Chain A
């Protein structure tokens, strides 16, 4: 299994540009989520999904959209990039079964908005 994969690893955007961060998992996990991590901070939840076709907002959803058309993929879209969105973005997935909530994280995408 490749686990959780994210592309790209690095990205530089200009203010106002849009882009999609890709996330895929091959573990047949129902639950997927997106977090952002700012310097010296813990992870903050942006959006999450409990299954294909179902998404919900996390703590910091503004400026981001998500969709979940398949179990495997959970892309994160930045609608109009702003410097405040400069961060490292992590995608995660978990079984969510049997009381197990362990989340498996991808390697991250480092985004800079100028």
Chain B
């Protein structure tokens, strides 16, 4: 999972395994959370989002879980594929007039081995 520091956390999995990437967010007032995927040399790409009035949301092969009690977010990727290898960022938004003013986590490097 993500942590403070200069070295990105890493996660290595075998193709076909399920992956879980964790994120601890900082602001209890945050009402919106997003997971982004960033491949080398590219801009971040939206994966899935969740609002603070939900604790789970599912997409295609991905699930985001939100635990507001401990300010924790996780991204689960089912049947991980080599194309899923990238850096994954969580981002939080406080909301209100600050909509879109996202604070990003440090990122987690996911490597999928064939």
Contacts and interface: CB of A to CB of B under 8 A. Distances in A.
A91 B8 CA distance: 23
A94 B100 contact: yes
A103 B34 CA distance: 9
Contacts of A79: none
Contacts of A40: 6-8, 106
Contacts of B89: 42-43
B5 to A, nearest CB: 9
A31 interface: yes
Contacts of A4: 43
B104 A43 contact: yes
A94 B36 CA distance: 14
A99 B100 contact: no
A96 interface: yes
Contacts of A94: 100
Interface in B28-44: 32, 34, 41-44
Interface string B97-108: 001111111110
Interface string A18-53: 000000000000010101000011111100101000
A106 interface: yes
A106 B106 CA distance: 19
Interface of B: 6-8, 32, 34, 41-46, 49, 51, 89, 91, 93, 99-107
Given A4-B43, A101-B102, A105-B43, 6 more contacts: A99-B32, A101-B49, A103-B34, A103-B100, A107-B42, A108-B42
25 contacts: A4-B43, A31-B99, A33-B101, A35-B104, A40-B6, A40-B8, A42-B104, A42-B106, A42-B107, A43-B102, A43-B104, A45-B102, A48-B100, A50-B99, A50-B100, A94-B100, A96-B99, A101-B49, A101-B100, A102-B34, A102-B49, A103-B100, A105-B43, A105-B45, A108-B42
